[in-house]
A and B are shown apart, each in its own frame.
Chain A
Amino acid sequence: MTDVMHNFELYQPGTVADAQAILKDSDDPWIIAGGKDSLGWFKDRVKQPSEVVDIAGIEELQGIREEDDGGLWIGALTTLTEIGASDVIKNRFPALSTAADHVASPQIRNAGTIGGNVSQDTRCGYYRDGFPCYRAGGNTCYANTPTAMNREHALFEASRCVAVTPSDTAPALAALEATFVIQGDGDRRDVSADDFFIGPDIDITRMTSLERGDILLGIRIPGKWAGSNQYFEKVSDRNVWDFALVNIAMAASMDGGTVSDVSMVCGGVQCTPRHLSEVEDLMRGESPGSNLETLVKRVAASGAQPLNFNHFKVPMMRNLAARAVRSLAAG
């Protein structure tokens, strides 16, 4: 049930410097770009920041640029529609292009940004409904109890909180070894995907390494995987709107008939995009085929600790990994 949003001061800075100045002065700032995650929080009255900084007007955070190493710079405010429609992304990084096309609905992709998609908060229903759980600063997990509805929750590396990453572009970017460029107070830092997404064991109250006052400027994808064999698939309850139950992104380079290098990342199974490093080790030097698929299925979900209602994610993960391998044989 939604409500009228609370009163807040709205700022619409035109430059990163102005945005930083406002963030620095503010006691309780909240950055919005596309607003698709934020306005939901406000309408549910769960989060009520007194100062909202709308960064969508900042020109320098928009657009896609080609880099010298064959990679790309993607501004944080680039919409998912622009990413899905971009020819250069389609040619070099089809996994990201496909992932962007599978986010939510066309209207949301028209407004939602890549920066927002990777830094959105988790979709755990208990947390979003305002339950005082660990993530909200309390001392209970409502999703990990005998009767809790937890079919969308984590299989791996739960630490008090069992919420999962909701993003579709995050696994693709992690598989492509993207770095996230963050403007902090005074310093600008590059953070790898492995460090950008953080689990509850590091900080249970946030999903990314963005701290208060930080602005995500953009995402740099190195040329390493440009033009390689890539795969993205998302499984969700409905084809539109729904967040992924499990999604998978893979980039692989082939040498003759064998896999020379591969990067495979699975989303929706733990708080951060999960590198399937056992699958990667298994695939290197092997040729795709039904034998490799069988082996990949065996290790893809090893170590999974399902909750009461999310056992189905284990075979789903295995099959998605196998289908990613199969795409190499077809290509």
Chain B
Amino acid sequence: MENYGPYDPTLDYAPGPATKEIAVESGKVQSWKPLHMSRRNFLRSVVCSGTVIAGSGYLFTTLAPSRADARSVERLVSLNVNGRTRRLDVPPNETLATTLRYRLGLTGTKIGCNQAECGACTVMANGATIYSCSTLTHRVRDKEIVTVEGIASDDGTLHPVQQAFMDEIAPQCGFCTPGQVVAAVALLNMNPNPTIEEARMGLSGNVCRCGAYDHYLRGTMKAAERL
């Protein structure tokens, strides 16, 4: 009979062979090593295998066969991001958020819900805010993209919106902040003197899970004063 004693945490990490001799039918004695699967290692393996499975789906999209029809789009595109033109190899089914984060390394743009419902991925295309998670990169080939990395000036001076958000302690966890910054900058570009209601409407496409909406709103109004 196996003896299942109380849980012994040291057993999980016990190095070396934990051999145990069991008798098999032939009469020979075999060495048998129990599988030490700790909770931590189990979780680790589940997470890793999940990542590999999820990641491989993305990997194989780039290995897709080349165009069957010559009229369909070229994969090689020039993308104007933050004033610089970058040449990229982009499959037709890639979203702008993926391109920005994983091809260009512009990880300021966050992917929150990935279905146009949170605003963390907000970028500007020709001055208008869009959800980059729900925009095909090929759609915006001929547009000027501005991400949160392109908001501050080249010498590192923060945009008034960024400074005002800091002054108003708008970000708590900060995940929605890049989207809020881009939305507020786009709003003030269009309407430098918004009423508080217009500012609320302008930022209404961005969810903040910390609930710091009033801070972002005050920051936007303060930035409007300083512009």
Contact = CB atoms under 8 A, between A and B. Distances in A.
Given A107-B131, A107-B205, A56 B93 contact: no
A40 B89 CA distance: 24
A9 B205 contact: no
B71 A107 contact: no
B92 interface: yes
A7 B139 CA distance: 16
B116 A22 contact: no
Interface stretch (B8-16, B61-69, B147-155, B159-167): B61-69
B196 interface: no
Interface in A1-16: 2-13
B115 A2 contact: yes
A240 B183 CA distance: 15
B204 A9 contact: no
A105 B95 CA distance: 19
B204 A10 contact: no
B134 A4 contact: no
Contacts of B130: 107, 110-111
Nearest to B119: A107
Contact of B204 (A54, A106, A110): A106
* Number of chain A interface residues as a range: 35 or more
Contacts of B93: 4-8, 10, 42
A51 B92 CA distance: 11
B92 A10 contact: yes
Nearest to B131: A107
A39 B64 CA distance: 19
Contacts of B92: 7-10, 52
B91 interface: yes
Nearest to A33: B139
Contact of B202 (A6, A54, A106): A106
B131 A108 contact: yes
A10 B64 contact: no
A110 B128 contact: yes
Nearest to A32: B136
Contacts of A108: 116, 131, 205
B114 A2 contact: yes
Interface string B61-103: 1001001110111000000000000000001110100000000
Contact of B139 (A22, A35, A51): A35
A253 interface: no
Nearest to A109: B205
Interface string B124-140: 00001111001110110
B129 A110 contact: yes
Contacts of B139: 35, 54, 56
B131 A239 contact: no
A327 B73 CA distance: 51
Interface of A is mostly: mixed
A241 interface: yes
Contacts of B117: 241
B195 to A, nearest CB: 15
B32 interface: no
Contacts of B114: 2, 43
B57 A4 contact: yes
A13 B149 CA distance: 32
Given A3-B57, A5-B93, A40-B115, A111 B71 contact: no
Interface string A88-125: 00000000000000001111101100000000000000
Contacts of B116: 36, 39-40, 104, 107-108
Nearest to B142: A57
Given A43-B114, A240-B204, A35 B73 contact: no
A81 interface: yes
Contact of A10 (B72, B122, B202): B72
Given A107-B131, A111-B130, A54 B115 contact: no
Contacts of B58: 4
A106 B129 CA distance: 8
A119 to B, nearest CB: 18
B197 to A, nearest CB: 12
Contacts of A43: 114-115
B43 interface: no
Interface string A244-272: 00000000000000000000000000000
Contact of A105 (B72, B91, B205): B205
Given A10-B92, A43-B114, A108-B205, 8 more contacts: A9-B68, A13-B71, A25-B69, A36-B134, A81-B128, A105-B119, A105-B205, A241-B117
5 contacts: A7-B61, A7-B93, A12-B73, A108-B205, A239-B204
Interface of A: 2-13, 18, 22, 25, 35-36, 39-40, 42-43, 51-52, 54, 56, 81, 104-108, 110-111, 239-241
A-B residue pairs, 10 tightest by C-beta: A105-B205, A10-B92, A5-B93, A110-B128, A107-B205, A9-B72, A2-B114, A106-B205, A240-B204, A7-B64
